[in-house]
Amino acid sequence: MKGFIEDVSYSIGLLDDAATPRDVIDNYIMEHSLTGKNAFFVADLGKIVKKHIEWQNTMGRVRPFYTLRCNSSPAVLEILSVLGTGFSCANKNEMTLVYDLGVSMDNVVYANPCKQAAQIKYAAKIGVTMMTCDNETELKKIARNHPNAKLLLHIATEGISEGEEMNMMIGSTLKNCRHLLELKFHVTNSSKNPQAYIHALSDARCVYDMAEELGFRMNVLDIGGGFSGDEFQLEELLHAVGPLLDVYFPEESGITVIAEPGSYYVSSAFTLAVNIIAKKEVEYDQLPTIGKQTSNRPTFIYCMNDGVYGSFASKLSDNLNTAPTVHKKHEQDEPLFASSLLGPSYDEPTGTSL
């Protein structure tokens, strides 16, 4: 196992196979007992390799382009570059990180719906040619600043599940696609239903047919993101979309199929260790995440030294899928109390009931 600790700088160390993230956390706490107990990450980088093997074994021809905004730690990017993944970058800084690793810019997508002209020129300078587009204004801006760009048309696809909302602000509708040259559809992370991908594949085939009528030859299909770290979800998705890929976009068609997994690769590898900095006993109905109920037992709010302005910033729109655990060992017969975990400024979006 490889241990990874991130706190301004980072360090990588080789640990024996019996070591666990708990061991790394214990060592870090002991080493920094006199200098402070800041929040920090511990990562098992071996899990990233395992996730890549799992992706290859399950998704087959669908090539992953890792989304840097999920986690752009140098160690993560170095491992993924060695494994041969592509990269999906949202801005100049992310493109620079990948460029400095020596990755071929043919393996990079500049995926941002609203690109700055200066950053489009920078992409052209370092050799990034593939980028997303979903409207005529953006198309003309790219043409002015990067004439050799290869465009992936981002199609807005509606989810079909009741109560499931898709982000319709991003992507072109089918009726506006005929004059654009390349194709991309993207299912947002809010969708966990494989049926939404099926709907998107159908739309994608329609746009490819439109392009063929106009004499355009398109060669890339990006099925986007929305992949959790759950192996079952990945298999369920492939079971739903695999047959349609074979029918609509068979391998002999020469169309390259890619995807943009992000949290899939890193969610299970990283553990965030935080320090409790404050504790307050409150009335039960004052807890922000438990609700208005009554109880005679004490209830508590705990504040940790990280929150929405730090490590939880990327989780504002997502539900935390892993319950927090107490690192300090406690006896099994010790009493447990209803509690809520908040950030250092009492920000409720990070509140987690315990």
pLDDT band at residue 336 using 50, 70 and 90 as cut-offs: confident
pLDDT band at residue 176 using 50, 70 and 90 as cut-offs: low
> Span 278-289, mean pLDDT?
68
pLDDT of residue 278: 87
Domain 45-266 has CATH 3.20.20.10: yes
User: Which pairs from 228-232 meet CB under 8 Å and 24+ separation?
Assistant: 228/192, 228/263, 228/264, 228/267, 228/321, 229/51, 229/263, 229/264, 229/265, 229/267, 229/268, 231/54, 231/58
pLDDT of residue 122: 98
Look at 306 and 15; give whichever has higher pLDDT: 306
* Highest mean pLDDT, choosing among 16-20, 30-34, 165-169, 234-238: 234-238
Give the integer Cα–Cα distance in Å for 171 and 154. Answer: 5
Look at 12 and 8; give whichever has higher pLDDT: 12
> Span 98-120, mean pLDDT?
95
Ranges of each domain in the chain: 45-266, 276-354
Please say if the pLDDT value at position 225 is more than 70: yes
pLDDT of residue 189: 46
Enter the CATH code of domain 276-354. Answer: 2.40.37.10
What does pTM read for this prediction? Answer: 0.78
pLDDT of residue 8: 39
Of the chain, the percentage scoring pLDDT greater than 70 comes to: 73
> Span 327-351, mean pLDDT?
73
pLDDT of residue 185: 52
Computed over every residue of the chain, the mean pLDDT equals 78
Look at 275 and 80; give whichever has higher pLDDT: 80
Q: Could you report the per-residue pLDDT of 179-208, keeping only the tens digit for each?
A: 454 445 555 444 556 677 777 888 888 888
Please say if the pLDDT value at position 29 is more than 50: yes
pLDDT of residue 14: 59
pLDDT band at residue 306 using 50, 70 and 90 as cut-offs: confident
